Structure 1
Amino acid sequence: MNKKVEYQHIGKMPYAKAWDYQTELFDAIVQTKLENRRRTDRGEDALPTKNYLLFVEHPHVYTLGKSGKEEHLLLDKEGLEREHVEFFKINRGGDITYHGPGQIVGYPILDLDNFFTDIHKYLRLLEEAVILTLKDYGIKAGRIDGLTGVWIGEEGDPNPRKICALGVKTSRWVTMHGFAFNVNANLDYFGNIVPCGISDKAVTSMQNELGKELPMNEVEEVVKKHLATLFEMEIFENKQN
């Protein structure tokens, strides 16, 4: 089991380019696993599979998951052009969400055979890393039963507010896509969608909750620290140009 995870702080990258890059890494891991099956059949040693953690910020974009409804995008083509927002239908789970500046988008591309083969546990640990990060900044956050993501104001709160959305894809226990954590994000862009298909709950950010802008690199380091602890990862960094 290889618990080494290559961390790449990509910075700002268009959504389509990041999706292609994720897919390239994802496919390579899957191909290694297929080769290992052939090697095992021949009595040869298996090759270690790689793991990655990408942090990226996207220009304004809406993405619609496989189970989403296109009517949850409240803009037509002209409206998207007017707002300078891209739109993609993608292969993760979940409904529609927004990515943009001031948001930490985390893409763990992991072979879960290196950690644990439990998708429910995987999602809950991604949420927990964000919950613990918010706790470090004095923000109480948690989960709402039946809904993915991280919320300010738990079950029974009159004004629950989503601060982190999740949507993943897995194949042969390899993951891609991940989470979108609102740090300093412009929340106005959520007004053009029904976020995650949920019409009766609000969206928030760390900046909105604390009344001040947060240093993105500082928050990223805290999230990374909690992910490393929760998943028992050995993270090493690969800085991208």
Structure 2
Amino acid sequence: MQEVQNKKIEVQELGLKDYKETWDYQEQLFEEILDLKVKNRREDTNLETPNYLLSVEHPHVYTLGKSGDISNLLINEKQLEEKGAKFYKINRGGDITYHGPGQMVIYPILDLDNFFTDIHKYLRLLEEAVILVLKEYGINAERSDGETGVWLDVGTPFARKICAMGVRASRWVTMHGLALNVNADLGYFDNIVPCGIKEKAVTSLNVELGKNQVDMEEVKQKFLNHFKDLFDAEF
């Protein structure tokens, strides 16, 4: 039976929330959608599957993807504690990254059967939403071949990453997502080899604009607008 396509996405603003708590919550929503899909298949029912988009900031934390190399974390447990940061090995793709205050973190938990079944396209559209946001601030951002995420000055000695990305998908249901540095404390990136890519810098929107602070809510709203258009979704 053809599943009903539900283009509605429930946007949830979680504020500043512990990484592990948010990860557990993502898993809960992810599993609920998967269970519903299995039920539809087994019982030949046609129940609508929900979609969520979580918007959150995290206290200082480092996360290592399942294919990541622990040696890319350059500090030990004691130093982590001194910096008030946590560390987790997690089940997304990608290597190591940092999350912290001043970073716009977005976790879309979507049933891609409601949109399109193409993970490559999904990642490219996430990148495109960020690229379009940055364009509104006069910043020319782009993709870097073979390196997921959004970059500035690709192909030059000044290449730097402004948005990291890592997702997990099962039966076309997604979790994890992206982290755009808006007002991030870039010093925390010195403790890792970001995304396992050596000799590439990291930047933040406020640094690029020469400002102390950029309005996070404004950035978020711009992102949601572009995301909605690109995914032909309803909020």
Instruction: Give TM-score, length-normalised by structure 2.
Output: 0.97
- In 1, distance between residues paired with 2:164 and 2:233? 22
Counterpart of 1:22 (choices 12, 26, 50) is: 26
* Equivalent in the alignment of 1:131: 131
* Equivalent in the alignment of 1:167: 166
2:16 partner amino acid: K
SS at structure 2 position matched to 1:123: helix
SS at structure 1 position matched to 2:179: strand
Matches within 5 A, 1:37-186: 37-40=41-44, 45-154=45-154, 156-186=155-185
SS at structure 2 position matched to 1:46: coil
1:171 partner amino acid: S
Deviation >4 Å, runs of 4+? none
Q: CA deviation at 1:39?
A: 2.2
Aligned residues: 230
Instruction: Give TM-score, length-normalised by structure 1.
Output: 0.95
> Are 1:228 and 2:228 matched, yes or no?
yes
> Are 1:10 and 2:17 matched, yes or no?
no
2:202 partner amino acid: V
| Cα deviation code 1:152-182 (max 9, x no counterpart) | 112x222101000000000000000000100
Counterpart of 2:37 (choices 30, 33, 39) is: 33
Gaps of 5+ in 1: 236-241
1:162 partner amino acid: K
Matches within 5 A, 1:199-218: 199-212=198-211, 213-218=213-218
Bigger RCO (CA 8 Å, 6+ sep): 1
2:165 partner amino acid: L
SS at structure 2 position matched to 1:185: coil
- How large is the RMSD of aligned CA atoms in angstroms? 0.6
| Cα deviation code 1:99-119 (max 9, x no counterpart) | 000000000000000000000
1:13 partner amino acid: K
- In 2, distance between residues paired with 1:144 and 1:105? 21
SS at structure 1 position matched to 2:9: strand
